[in-house]
Amino acid sequence: MHSQHNTKGSSRVQGTLSRTPRFSLALACSLALLPLSGPALAQDTNDDEDVDRVLEEVVVTGTQIRGASINEALSVSVISSDDIEALGISSGDELLDVIPEQGQNFFNEAENIAGGVNAARGDIGAFNLRNIGTGNTLVLMNGRRVVNAASYQTEEVGGSFVPVATANSAAIPVFGLDRLEVLRDGASAIYGADAVAGVVNTVMRDDYEGLTVSGRWQTYDNIPRDDYTATVEWGGSFNSGRTYAGLFATFYHRDRVNSQDDEKWADSDYRRLIPEGSPWEGDTAFRNDSANSLWGQFDIVGDRYNLNDLDITDSAGEFETYPIGDPRCEGGFQINEFTCGHADGQGTYRYNLNENRDVASELDRINLYTYLNHEFDNGIESYTELGWYQAKSNLYRHPAASFTAVKLRVGPENYYNPFGPCGSPNRLPDSIIGTEVPCEGLQLEIDNYRFAELPRIVDVENETYRLLQGFRGSFGNNWDWDSAVLYSKASRDDVTHNRVSNQLMQDALEDPTEAAYNPFVGGMGSNIERALVDVYRNSESDLALADFKLTNPSIFNTWAGGVGFLAGAEYRRESFKDDRDPRLDGTIQFTDWQNDTYPFISDIVNSSPTPDNEGDRNVASLFTEFIVPLHETLDVQLALRYENFSDVGSTTVPKVAFGWTPTEWLMFRGSWSEAFRAPNLITINETLVVRNNTNTDWACEYAAEYGGDPDQDILDCSYNMQRRAQGSQELEPEKSDNSSLGIVLTPTENLTLTVDFWKIKKEDTIGLFGEENHTMLDLLYRLQAGTGSCASVGNPALGRIDPDDDQIAIYTAAGICPAGDVEFVDDNYQNLDVRKVEGYDFGVYYDLDTNYGDWSFRWQGSIYTRYDQEPGGAAQVLLDAQEDGTLPSNYPVTGFSDLLRMDGNQEKKMNARARWRLDEWGATVAWYYLDDFYQSSLTLEDGSQWVIPSYDYFNLSADYTFDAFDITTRIRLAVNNVTDERAPLADRYFGYFSDAHSDYGRSYYIDFRVDF
């Protein structure tokens, strides 16, 4: 039988576990400290010694002083190992879903399916407390930092997307975990940078005794997916209890989930799912297939040679292709046995992007954690931790299409060109194309084409290891010291197969032999293989840390008791490296027919150029903390931390917290602190990076609306623009003010009620002003200047080409200086504006022991009342111009508004569960709820919002434990999502909002555990 030995080892994680000298206060208030796991009465055993132990050991993630009397007042949520085991949680991302304060997980495969090589792919999940953004949550293991994942991606902050980094939730070991602690408060004064929204601390077992083997098999109703988990937990004590060693190992396998596994995802045109009579019925926003397919559009380059008069092309020299038998072939011409052509105007042949792409990859994951603790004869204790994580995933993605800014051309000599050289077996006869097409052939520009012969296949291997060696001891009168060194490294190797090289493809399109690429056969025998390459992205992130802490629970006495004290120092080095494929980083370059080349285009179809990137910083910290009792019922925490960064300067932040217990059944608690988040290494060190996106040019929109082209029959104001951004050493840390005020009621020993109101005001948020906001600012400058001196008018951040005659006429008619299309936007990272998030957390906890079993009920929730991104600087200038009537009020200033209930920023997230145990029988029912929100991109002109309804589901499990041959065995049967709820419809890649929802429906699992 395994056990957890209650010795000094129980307090080994300094700063996360301690003993409280005021037992009566702990008895009255300890329930309030466990908003997710509950008090001792929730334990499966009635052993009095275990009850006393849990009541004494109070979680103190919010302080690093052992035995601090402030512990009871800290707003900390806890998920215990019993909760994790009872809820059937088998991975770190599932663990995050249980936390009501956790916001959207932007690092998920279903949403990143369109992100390409620039997305963080593979087995990864993001921490995002309070929904305030990835990178604002500090993640610890056993009270010390966790290395960031090797990969990063972008999130929208302000008007565009900025790089963000996170620790990887998938790398957090679930088995062997003693508890997960969530400090729901700013904690930079305690733990340093990044603790703006709070702290998540994983506390591993360090005194496990016994051997446990467990396994789980899970299957799904709606999809052909099976999951398997196998775990071994071993631990023991030696040398008369002076040495503890343990090992926890888990293997997890997950089957692939493909878009074709469910009819909802199988067709990316989701208009069929819109309710009849809805204002959005037939709305093309839900048509998430693509106009780019193997049946492309081709544009004659140069002279048309009267092909439009023969109805081969339209007046612009464009024709479209279709498979033989398509109704649009009627009235056209046959190119070959597979393909027909028709003058442009019949509608493109659309491609189902979900023909073969994965909602979730096939995955194998290994988590390994081991520890070795030993107490020497002189009382000094050594503690060693070693963690290792590895994951391998395989994912299918949709094939790529060229950017509109990087179009390839079929050479006039191409063997399969229907307008090729005279004598070519594939040149169309004169009876179709006439006699004027020259014998040299015609060059064709490829448009609306996708190299869809093969899917892109992505193999990702993630690996993280962590090594910590520490020593601690005591001396003098209650003085404790603790020091450790830590090194951790994360790596990721990402390889995408079946990518198309621009240069190799252009060579294939100019080949006069049968080996040429043939874009006129719908992918059948097209010779695509000659242009296919593998593309890699290899990334690393590492963390080296050394610290020393000195504590005393009572450095001196006041009229109300001893004053706790801590002083410490920490030095850490953080670094990252992002090595891109030579075809992306400019080593191998492609130059298109417009003479564009690196760093503005890459050699890979549908991938923006990205240089290699690396950076590092050193951080030196000094910190101190006091716990001051002002009365036998009132304690105050005072903390101060100074951090000096080698790249962005220094900062000092304070924290003040209090706990007041006027009676045994009532406690008030609150805190105020300043927190900070240093600019991540990417935003500082990134060299020039360009991205191509379709955006609205608001100067063009204004000119069209007021210059005689309201339907944009002449102008096209939504087109591809290139954004150019690079890191800045001038960035300053983001700063925040955090405050909370709460109340804890314990009217009976079995019932506890908690509510905590909180506010976060974050200043100098790092973001981008945004391409469309820049065009709006350009419009404002033009409106202010009129048509006087146009030579120097406009936003200097925009690079525009010279206007053509139509643009000159329409802009002038609208009363503003003419402008050509935007070729690029310089939009560098900067400290922008203020973000405010406010709300309250609540909890209801009830436990009852009866002759019919032990009962436990938990209900927790996080409610948001405010979520604003306040404008400042240029954004405020634009809003002021709208207010005074200079700018049209219906032109959106993007990224600066009330964000509550917008795009996954829900108002309410709650969960509840009830547990019952009687002898060898047990059962758990759990409920999860996510409030509704609206998808902003679907808002109609009359202001109607597409509301994504609230989403909730129930899980149910039952287990039986029995002894056989002195071996304890437990078997559990469970049903997750009992009523088979599916995610609500949204305009996303798989028809649901995967940052917030899961769409797999009902699943079942059987779980066994054997304790030797």
**What integer is the mean pLDDT of 798-819?**
94
Range in 91-95, 735-739, 773-777 the model is least confident about: 91-95
Kindly tell me the burial class for residue 646, based on how many C-beta atoms sit within 10 Å of its own C-beta (0-12, 13-18, 19 or more): exposed
Mean of per-residue pLDDT scores for the chain: 90
* Bridge partner list, 640: 624, 654
Same-domain pairing of 856 and 974: yes
**What integer is the mean pLDDT of 403-422?**
94
Same-domain pairing of 431 and 545: no
Same-domain pairing of 96 and 171: yes
Q: Is 92 contained in some domain?
A: yes
CA atoms within 13 A on the CB side of 527: 20
Same-domain pairing of 212 and 97: yes
Q: Is 24 contained in some domain?
A: no
Q: Is 376 contained in some domain?
A: yes
Q: Is 600 contained in some domain?
A: no
Q: Which of 494-508, 721-735, 800-814 has the highest mean pLDDT?
A: 494-508
Q: Using only the alpha carbons of the chain, give its radius of gyration.
A: 31
Q: Is 39 contained in some domain?
A: no
Q: Is 325 contained in some domain?
A: yes
Same-domain pairing of 445 and 472: no
For residue 846, give the CATH number of its domain: 2.40.170.20
Last residue of a domain, one of 826, 853, 872: 826
Position of tokens 């300053």? 732
The total number of structural domains that make up the chain: 3
Secondary structure letter of residue 802 according to DSSP: P
Q: Is 1 contained in some domain?
A: no
Model confidence pLDDT, tens digit, residues 523-534: 999 999 999 999
The pLDDT of residue 61 is 64
Position of tokens 């197969």? 497
Per the structure, the complete domain to which residue 940 belongs is given by: 54-260+359-398+458-500+531-580+612-685+731-766+833-1011
Is the Cβ–Cβ distance between 521 and 339 less than 8 Å? yes
The pLDDT of residue 37 is 35
Is the Cβ–Cβ distance between 214 and 1008 less than 8 Å? yes
Q: How confident is the model at residue 118 (pLDDT cuts 50, 70, 90)?
A: confident
Q: How confident is the model at residue 73 (pLDDT cuts 50, 70, 90)?
A: low
Q: How confident is the model at residue 68 (pLDDT cuts 50, 70, 90)?
A: low
Distance CA 122, CA 153 (A): 12
Same-domain pairing of 543 and 555: yes
Cβ within 8 Å of residue 624, ≥6 positions away: 565, 566, 567, 568, 639, 640, 641
Same-domain pairing of 803 and 892: no
Is the Cβ–Cβ distance between 479 and 566 less than 8 Å? no
User: 532-555 burial, b for 16+ CB within 10 Å, e for fewer?
Assistant: bbebbbbbbbbbbbebebbbbbbb
Distance CA 502, CA 532 (A): 10
Same-domain pairing of 394 and 404: no
The pLDDT of residue 155 is 86
Same-domain pairing of 653 and 783: no
Same-domain pairing of 438 and 386: no
Model confidence pLDDT, tens digit, residues 250-265: 999 999 999 999 999 9
The pLDDT of residue 28 is 32
Same-domain pairing of 170 and 309: no
Same-domain pairing of 197 and 286: no
Q: How confident is the model at residue 976 (pLDDT cuts 50, 70, 90)?
A: very high
Widest Cα–Cα separation across the chain = 107
- Cα torsion through 25, 28, 30, 31, rounded to 10: -170
Q: Is 58 contained in some domain?
A: yes
User: How many CB atoms within 10 Å of residue 578?
Assistant: 25
* Bridge partner list, 800: 822
